[in-house]
Amino acid sequence: MSGRAQLMWDEQVTSYDFGPGHPMDPVRLSLTRSLVSEFGLDRELAVVAAPAAGDSTLGLVHRADYVAAVRRASVDPKRAELDYGLGTADNPAFEGMHEASALIAGQSVGGAEAVWRGETEHAVNFAGGLHHAMPGAASGFCVYNDAALAIARLLELGAERVVYVDVDVHHGDGVQAVFWDDPRVLTISLHEHPRTLFPQTGWPEETGGPAAEGSAVNVALPAGTGDEGWLRAFHAVVPELVAAFRPQVLVTQHGADTHFEDPLAHLAVSLDAQRMVMEACHGLAHEHAEGRWLALGGGGYAVADVVPRSWTHLVAIAAGAPIAATTPVPEVWRGEVYRRTREVAPLRMTDGREPRWQSFDDGGYDPADRLDQAVLATRRAVFPLHGLLA
């Protein structure tokens, strides 16, 4: 290994901008990058700018006619074609859309390549995690599916088993769809129940196609789930499946929109619990994938208070320099937040929580509890397909 971790970053990823008033405000990316720098993490890892994904790379996941449609809309947003999910309220077309989207995809693909080739143990692209994009359509603020492209590139390079863990509040539907019938990829998504949140998919019964039964895993969490339930569900499902699948690479998506302050969803997870799951994913990569870990961002629309702190913790964990929860937020950065957003930034790298959770296998199952019902539904649907007891 030439280094412990790489941060995949090109300033131009902030040109992925759907315009004023859109929840996917690129200020969340630039504020995260600034906070990473203020904590001195640039000294703990390599900051690498990968090239944008070209047509051959995009073609690993996306149809040529769709890429052509994105290019047309990128040159002239008025030509956006609704049949391709472009020009909608969720995915307004903007000039340079193709270039910005391909650049974000390139960072995830470049990180995957570096991890696979042994150039680094871990790679982080917090601008990535655009997990809703489909092979032939934009969806849910996502134009190109960088997570799926990174996994497809790993397979192209020779990987035989890849696990994708998605803890965004929304179902990772695009990644699941791409690898639905591919037994080499295990997709695991923990998300708010499809009855109450976009994209209305991710039921526990969705377990993979005929050629890959058990390759899709979905934990549909009740609205209102907080730290204890979220951590309980994660640990009741993810570690056992990762161990059984024996991945060569772990790819994880860390959308920050599970947070109780996020305006677009209904879970009640704290920054402190998010940090615990990041640490758990880091540990799983070392335990089962020889440390090969690609970590991505995702959703998150509390753009000043939550997202930068959450993803700075992610970068720090990957760099082997975790930030203590009680650490004060640098005053210089708090000033930048106010100048750019007119919001008052948080004072510490914590929400002041100390999450506790009880193991699902520790005699604590409550058949009347909706969270436990959700966990059991997933385990019953998938665990036997991996030789595990539900």
Q: What are phi and psi of 34, to 5 degrees?
A: -65, -40
| Burial 132-142, CB ≥16 within 10 A → b, else e | bbbeebbbbbb
3-state SS track over 286-301:
HHHCCCCEEEECCCCC
Q: What's the rounded Cα separation, in Å, for the pair 292 and 63? A: 29
Both ends of the chain: CA-CA distance in Å?
38
DSSP string across 28-90: HHHHHHHHHHHTTGGGTSEEE-PPPP-HHHHTTTS-HHHHHHHHHHHH-GGG--GGGT-SSSS
Tokens of 337: 């937040």
> Residue 129 in contact with residue 67, Cβ under 8 Å?
no
Pairing of strands 5-8, 122-125: parallel
Q: What's the rounded Cα separation, in Å, for the pair 138 and 329? A: 36
| Burial 275-313, CB ≥16 within 10 A → b, else e | bbbbebbbebbeebbebbbbbbbbbbbbbbbbbbbbbbb
Is 132 designated active site?
yes
Quickly count helices (H) and strands (E) in the chain. 11, 8
Q: What's the rounded Cα separation, in Å, for the pair 143 and 86? A: 8
**Residue 167, number of CB atoms within 10 A of its CB:** 29
DSSP H/E element including 110: helix 97-116
Catalytic one among 132, 170, 288, 313? 132
Query: Which residue, 4, 3, 89, is CA-closest to 318?
Result: 4
Query: Which residue, 90, 218, 215, is CA-closest to 162?
Result: 215
Q: What's the rounded Cα separation, in Å, for the pair 207 and 205? A: 6
Q: Which residues are catalytic?
A: 132
